[in-house]
Structure 1
Amino acid sequence: MLIRREIPADLAAVRAVTIASSYKPHEEEPVEVILRDSLHKGENWIPALSLVAEGEDGAIIGHALCTWGRIGAVRVPNLSLLGVRCDHRRRGVGTALVHATLAAADALDTLMVVVLGDPDFYGRFGFQPSTDFGIVGEEPAWEHMFQIRPLHAYDPSVQGEFTYPEPFGSI
Structure 2
Amino acid sequence: MTETNWRVRPEMRDDAPAVRAVNAAAFPTEAEAALVDTLRKDSLVWLPGLSWVAEAPDGSIAAHALLSRCWVDGVPALALAPVATAPEHQRRGAGSAVVRAVLEAARWYGERLVLVLGHPEYYPRFGFVPASRYGIRPPFEVPDEAMMALVLDDSASVPMGTIEYPPAFGV
TM-score (norm 1): 0.90
- Once the two structures are superposed, the pairs formed by residues 48-127 of structure 1 within 5 Å of their partners are 48-127=49-128
Output the CA distance in 2 between the equivalents of 1:157 and 1:16: 36
The answer on whether the counterparts of 1:4 and 1:53 sit within 8 Å (CA) in structure 2 is yes
- Paired residue for 1:11? 16
Deviates more, 1:149-158 or 1:95-104: 149-158
1:40 aligns with 2:55: no
Shift in Å at residue 166 of structure 1?
Answer: 1.3
Output the CA distance in 1 between the equivalents of 2:66 and 2:158: 27
Distance 1:165 1:51, change over 3 A: same
The 4+ residue runs of structure 1 with deviation greater than 6 A are: none
Distance 1:157 1:103, change over 3 A: closer
| Letter of the structure 2 residue corresponding to residue 127 of structure 1 | F
| Letter of the structure 1 residue corresponding to residue 105 of structure 2 | A
Identity %: 36
Deviations 1:107-132 (A, max 9, x none): 11111111010011001111000010
Q: Which runs of 5+ in 2 are unaligned?
A: 1-5
Output the CA distance in 2 between the equivalents of 1:157 and 1:21: 32
In the alignment of these two chains, the number of paired residues is 165
Shift in Å at residue 59 of structure 1?
Answer: 0.8
Output the CA distance in 1 between the equivalents of 2:155 and 2:88: 37
Q: Secondary structure at the match of 1:57?
A: coil
Q: Secondary structure at the match of 2:15?
A: helix
Q: Which runs of 5+ in 1 are unaligned?
A: none
- Paired residue for 2:148? 147
Distance 1:59 1:163, change over 3 A: same
Deviations 1:30-74 (A, max 9, x none): 211221211111120122110011111111111111110001221
Output the CA distance in 2 between the equivalents of 1:60 and 1:166: 27
RMSD of aligned alpha carbons: 1.4
| Letter of the structure 1 residue corresponding to residue 32 of structure 2 | E
| Letter of the structure 1 residue corresponding to residue 65 of structure 2 | A
Shift in Å at residue 153 of structure 1?
Answer: 4.2
Deviations 1:13-35 (A, max 9, x none): 1111111111x3xx5xx211221
